[in-house]
Structure 1
Amino acid sequence: MRWAVLSLVATVVLGACSVAPPPTAQPPAATGAAAWENLSPEQAARNFTTVVRAVEPVAERECRRRAPRLNCDFLIAVDPNPREQPNAFQSEDSQGRPVLTFTVSLIGSVRNADEMAFVIGHEAAHHVANHLERQRLNAATGALVFGNLATLTGGAAADVATAQELGAAVGARAYSKEFELEADELGTVITYRAGFDPLVGAEFFMRIPDPGDRFLGSHPPNASRIETVRRTMRALGG
């Protein structure tokens, strides 16, 4: 298994990792509500790398089991720009390899290894559930529908193009909240099987602004996300 991490101070390519921790093993990273507070960038980088080593093999196993046709060789990256807002996102490189990117400020905002593991598991789950492709299809469908409506109502070429752009945006957002909850559910499984506590990890959501239940909002209410984690943990017996 190959994986790379852009460190907080430099680009580092880590070597092969052939031994994965057992599903119930506790990772060596420190846990606890304040374990990651007031860390130096170097300490945060070491802790992040430790959590990645525990979570990534589990995410890849879940990916191969649930979506064997997908590329399950995750690349974990850190955006070292300190001015970037706290963020984590899933993308693909030019070869179709899944890339999970985390900003330095996000790593600095988590309070413990459980929260970091949950964020990693959540982003990995987006890939396993094929959310990028599903979002592209939804956007294409929205663009087609809105473009056809503009054509039928006699819109000019510019009007049709504008309608297609609007339709793509609406289509991409149509199921985004459902995608987030799906990623929370599978992210809970990945986090738990990597030896971390998803219930502690999900406390990360209690400190971010609650988006509420807005129409075409990109994220579901925080309470819905927490309940998804709790329900999944009950199913896991945790």
Structure 2
Amino acid sequence: MRGLGLAALVMAMALAGCAAPVVQTPVPGPAPVSTQAQAEAAAKRFVSVVQTVRPVAERECRARAPRLNCNFIIAVDDRPEQPVNAFQSRDDRGRPIIAFTLSLIADVANADELAFVMSHEAAHHILDHLTRQQVNATAGAQILGGLAQATGADVSGVELATRIGASVGARRYSKDYELEADGLGAVIAQKSGYDAIRGALYFTRIPDPGDRFLGTHPPNANRMDVVRRAVQGGA
């Protein structure tokens, strides 16, 4: 199953007694009967995971990062043909957003995987990775742009160097941030009643990024090791 009918998603949420998460673009037309049943099952699983994980993530956020806004918004990006993805961002008031594409909701094999993904994204906010990434990007832009200017580059050359510096700076610690989010995400998933190690097995079903230079994600084996240690430590 690679897609979900929005009608089925909302229907399952109504049955579960939960307000639907933010959606962006209606998907016209009913799903086929066979797909409809799959969509409703996936939607109910999604609602259940959100209802269970969100309060735990918010408690962890308030305990670990009280200066942050800890009222998570859960959003569903239902634009057609979006890749399997989940990500964390913030709105204009600093409220954290965790967004899932429908393809990811359909792609996870079980509730443990979905709970781990959500916990991982919540951990990014609790650890304030967006702010830290922005600081790194600014520093990279200033350093490389300054070097270009000092070596006599023209305006366009300095602008290019600044953009490259910002990109390199933003990616510099991305692998570390992913591992940090894996560790805290494992704790959140476990406290929510899910099996974090089983959930992290999702990594074994997606391409392994290896250890590429300036890659944004660490090798999958490293991520699994971090999750196992976090579960054993229970911190």
**TM-score range for the pair, normalised by the shorter chain length:** 0.7 to 0.9
Amino acid at match of 1:236: G
- CA gap of 1:145–1:200, structure 2 versus 1, over 3 A, is same
The alignment covers a number of residue pairs equal to: 210
The reply to whether residue 100 of structure 1 matches residue 98 of structure 2 is: yes
Post-superposition offset of 1:82: 3.6
The reply to whether residue 229 of structure 1 matches residue 221 of structure 2 is: no
Post-superposition offset of 1:38: 9.6
Q: Is the 8 A contact 1:122 1:188 kept in 2?
A: yes
Greater relative contact order, per chain length (Cα 8 Å cut-off, separation 6+):
1
Match of 1:115 in 2: 113
Residue in structure 1 matching 2:43, options 30, 42, 45: 45
Amino acid at match of 1:105: S
Amino acid at match of 1:42: E
Task: Give unpaired runs (5+ residues) of structure 2.
Answer: 20-34
Residue in structure 1 matching 2:193, options 195, 208, 215: 195
Q: How do 1:147-158 residues align onto structure 2 when only pairs under 5 Å count?
A: 147-158=145-156
Match of 2:56 in 1: 58
SS of equivalent to 1:89? strand
Deviations 1:104-133 (A, max 9, x none): 000111011100100000000000000000
Match of 2:162 in 1: 164
In the aligned structure 2, how far is the partner of 1:175 from the partner of 1:55? 27
Q: How do 1:120-159 residues align onto structure 2 when only pairs under 5 Å count?
A: 120-159=118-157
Deviations 1:182-225 (A, max 9, x none): 00000000000000000100110000000001111000000000
Give the superposed CA RMSD. Answer: 1.9
In the aligned structure 1, how far is the partner of 2:166 from the partner of 2:40? 42
Runs of 4+ in 1 over 6 A off after TM superposition: 10-13
Q: Is the 8 A contact 1:8 1:45 kept in 2?
A: no
Amino acid at match of 1:144: Q
The reply to whether residue 186 of structure 1 matches residue 187 of structure 2 is: no
Post-superposition offset of 1:42: 2.1
Task: Give unpaired runs (5+ residues) of structure 1.
Answer: 1-6, 16-36
Q: Is the 8 A contact 1:76 1:100 kept in 2?
A: yes
Deviations 1:159-182 (A, max 9, x none): 000000000000000000000000
Amino acid at match of 2:156: A
Post-superposition offset of 1:41: 1.5
Q: Is the 8 A contact 1:8 1:78 kept in 2?
A: no
- CA gap of 1:39–1:130, structure 2 versus 1, over 3 A, is farther
SS of equivalent to 2:6? coil
